[in-house]
């Protein structure tokens, strides 16, 4: 696919100068690396989300199933026998046919992006699936009536209407998919990690794929210009690997493709230590490697093989299911707990001067800074928005009401509004304040890979909290254990796991001893 076009022409000298300055700076890997101006300019062009192909396919499945159901209802209304709409046979066929058609279309690979682009080529399979399902409906309808009469007018009308609908709908979808691919609405955005000849071969291989949906946003490499040119196959080198971490937090990327030979094990491991904290798919290009693995170890872009290193957690339809879960349970919690929240607000107001709510900046998904709501538990003049000084037992900054609501976690209830707003999830790694630290060190300085907690949306409650790891962080081990529990949650997420944590939260948190 074509390279992203910056707002101004590519200035090779400017890119070389920015890269040289970054390589000469020798900044600490633990410090946040600032992007050079050119890379930031490119990142701004990819701030908007693209539409995931798997999400699109799922939406088309639902759309086709519902439309075939609607066509069936309309066919019976106009051509069926009056008074039979709610019979068991009619209702059964109205449900059975759309579901089975979607299943048959899945079996014949009609729900692939390539198949939806080539509508005319795929049309015989699509219509054949519909005809086969309607044949089963007719046979089942006939024998369920013990060989007696059945509504031929309804079935023939539904059959013909379904053929017309599927033909027109698939032609429209083919046009739409091609349009979305051209304007960038439906694409997978990727950056290449590693430059030189290996990156050039990879880019050429990707560009030769007729159904390539990868949009290459740029190249990142730590090597100097003599080993890794500033422009590779028409794509600019945007910065170092440290800069890539910051770039990925600004741009909406989907994938990192490492263009290194598998034999460069030490360098690959060095890269992964920095990159695995990002909520992206990480792939190792395998098109030029002589080593071969089992077919299941590979994913493909067209015919270009990739070794799957990391997958983005809670993605696509999983993220939709989790969001629905959050909204449903959050509304239920607000309905049940609003008297507690009102009483708490009144108690805070009577106990000390100042606002009822306290706003604190914390790290959210992909390390973005979010504003988290809490009931105020400290005296206003002593509050600590940065959380640089952790609350300790008997802390004089905490009010009388504050001690109770912190102990019972009632102070966290306003975060339900953060959940509705989309900043938080009900369940996930707890978001820590941006300046949070243990003793005199920030959490990311204590735990290598600490920011991997931010590969998913943070939560009001979490696996670490119900296992006792909440409250004061006065030792390195406490933040290490919290991080370990959070990473376990991310790798083992399911809706059932979320439900389990949610149900255990009120029981476990009331018995916690280290919350002040």
pLDDT, tens digit, for every residue of 31-63? 456 778 888 888 888 887 777 778 888 889 999
Helix (H) or strand (E) holding 157: helix 152-183
Architecture in CATH of 12-50+187-310: 3-Layer(aba) Sandwich (3.40)
Per-residue confidence (pLDDT) for residue 2, from 0 to 100? 42
130 pLDDT above the threshold of 90: yes
Q: Taking the domains of the chain in order of start, what are their residue ranges?
A: 12-50+187-310, 53-183, 316-510
Per-residue confidence (pLDDT) for residue 15, from 0 to 100? 40
Question: What percentage of the chain reaches a pLDDT higher than 90?
Answer: 22
Per-residue confidence (pLDDT) for residue 25, from 0 to 100? 38
Per-residue confidence (pLDDT) for residue 32, from 0 to 100? 55
Helix (H) or strand (E) holding 482: helix 476-491
pTM (two decimals): 0.76
pLDDT in tens, 398-450: 888 888 888 888 888 999 999 999 999 999 998 887 776 666 667 766 777 77
Helix-, strand-, coil-residue percentages of the chain, each rounded to 5 = 55, 15, 35
Residue 164 or 150, more confident: 164
Q: pLDDT band for 12, please (50, 70, 90 cuts).
A: very low
Tell me whether residue 379 is exposed, middle or buried, using C-beta atoms within 10 angstroms of its C-beta: 0 to 12, 13 to 18, 19 or more: middle
377 pLDDT above the threshold of 70: yes
Q: pLDDT band for 472, please (50, 70, 90 cuts).
A: low
7 pLDDT above the threshold of 50: no
Per-residue confidence (pLDDT) for residue 147, from 0 to 100? 44
Structure-block tokens of residue 29: 């890997």
Q: In what order do the strands lie in the sheet with 281-285?
A: 231-232, 235-239, 214-220, 188-193, 255-258, 281-285, 304-310, 298-301
Torsion of CA 197, 199, 202, 204, to 10 degrees: -70
What average pLDDT score do residues 320-329 get? Answer: 93
What average pLDDT score do residues 467-485 get? Answer: 76
Find the range with the poorest average confidence among 104-118, 160-174, 183-197, 450-464: 183-197
Structure-block tokens of residue 165: 């609908």
- Select the highest-mean-pLDDT range: 98-102, 179-183, 294-298, 431-435: 98-102
Per-residue confidence (pLDDT) for residue 290, from 0 to 100? 55
Q: pLDDT band for 11, please (50, 70, 90 cuts).
A: very low
Contact 235, 2 (CB under 8 A): no
Backbone Cα Rg of the chain? 28
Contact 191, 163 (CB under 8 A): no
Per-residue confidence (pLDDT) for residue 471, from 0 to 100? 63
Question: What percentage of the chain reaches a pLDDT higher than 70?
Answer: 81
148 pLDDT above the threshold of 50: no
Structure-block tokens of residue 339: 């008297």
Per-residue confidence (pLDDT) for residue 84, from 0 to 100? 52
Q: pLDDT band for 510, please (50, 70, 90 cuts).
A: low
Residue 172 or 29, more confident: 172
Per-residue confidence (pLDDT) for residue 29, from 0 to 100? 38
């Amino acid at each position: 696919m074509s390279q992203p076009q910056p707002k101004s022409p590519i200035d090779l000298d400017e890119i070389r100068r920015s890269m040289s300055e970054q390589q000469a700076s020798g900044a600490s890997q633990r410090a946040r690396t600032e992007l050079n101006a050119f890379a930031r300019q490119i990142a701004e062009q990819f701030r908007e989300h693209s539409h995931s192909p798997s999400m699109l396919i799922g939406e088309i499945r639902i759309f086709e199933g519902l439309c075939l159901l609607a066509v069936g209802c309309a066919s019976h209304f106009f051509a069926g026998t009056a008074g039979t709409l709610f019979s068991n046979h009619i209702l059964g066929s109205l449900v059975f046919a759309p579901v089975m058609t979607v299943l048959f279309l899945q079996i014949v690979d009609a729900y692939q992006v390539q198949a939806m682009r080539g509508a005319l080529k795929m049309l015989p399979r699509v219509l054949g699936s519909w005809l086969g399902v309607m044949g089963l409906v007719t046979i089942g309808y006939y024998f369920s009536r013990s060989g007696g009469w059945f509504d031929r007018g309804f079935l023939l009308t539904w059959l013909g209407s379904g053929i017309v609908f599927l033909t027109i709908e698939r032609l429209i979808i083919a046009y739409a998919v091609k349009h979305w691919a051209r304007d960038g609405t439906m694409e997978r955005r990727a950056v290449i990690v590693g430059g030189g000849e290996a990156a050039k071969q990879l880019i050429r291989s990707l560009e030769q794929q007729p159904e390539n949906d990868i949009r290459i946003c740029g190249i990142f490499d730590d090597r100097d210009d003599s080993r890794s040119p500033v422009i590779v196959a028409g794509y600019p080198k945007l910065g170092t690997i440290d800069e890539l971490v910051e770039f990925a937090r600004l741009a909406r990327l989907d994938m990192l493709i490492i263009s290194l030979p598998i034999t460069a094990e030490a360098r690959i491991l060095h890269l992964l230590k920095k990159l695995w904290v990002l909520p992206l798919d990480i792939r190792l290009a395998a098109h030029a490697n002589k080593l071969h693995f089992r077919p299941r170890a590979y994913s493909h872009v067209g015919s270009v093989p990739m070794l799957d290193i990391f997958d983005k957690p809670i993605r696509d339809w999983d993220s939709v299911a989790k969001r629905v879960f959050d909204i449903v349970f959050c509304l239920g919690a607000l309905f049940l707990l609003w008297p507690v929240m009102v009483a708490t607000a009144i108690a805070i107001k009577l106990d000390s001067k100042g606002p009822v709510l306290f706003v604190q900046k914390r790290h959210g998904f992909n390390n973005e800074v979010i504003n988290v709501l809490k009931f105020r538990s400290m005296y206003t003049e002593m509050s600590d928005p940065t959380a640089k000084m952790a609350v300790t037992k008997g802390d004089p900054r905490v009010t009388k009401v504050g001690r109770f609501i912190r102990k019972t976690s009632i102070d966290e209830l306003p975060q339900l509004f953060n959940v509705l707003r989309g900043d938080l999830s009900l369940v996930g790694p707890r978001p820590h304040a941006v300046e949070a630290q243990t003793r005199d060190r920030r959490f990311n300085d204590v735990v290598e890979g600490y920011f991997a907690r931010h590969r998913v949306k943070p939560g009001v409650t979490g696996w670490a909290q119900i296992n006792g790891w909440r409250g004061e962080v006065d030792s390195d081990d406490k933040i290490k254990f919290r991080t370990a529990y959070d990473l376990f949650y991310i790798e083992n997420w399911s809706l059932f796991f979320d439900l389990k944590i949610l149900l255990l939260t009120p029981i476990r948190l009331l018995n916690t001893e280290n919350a002040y």
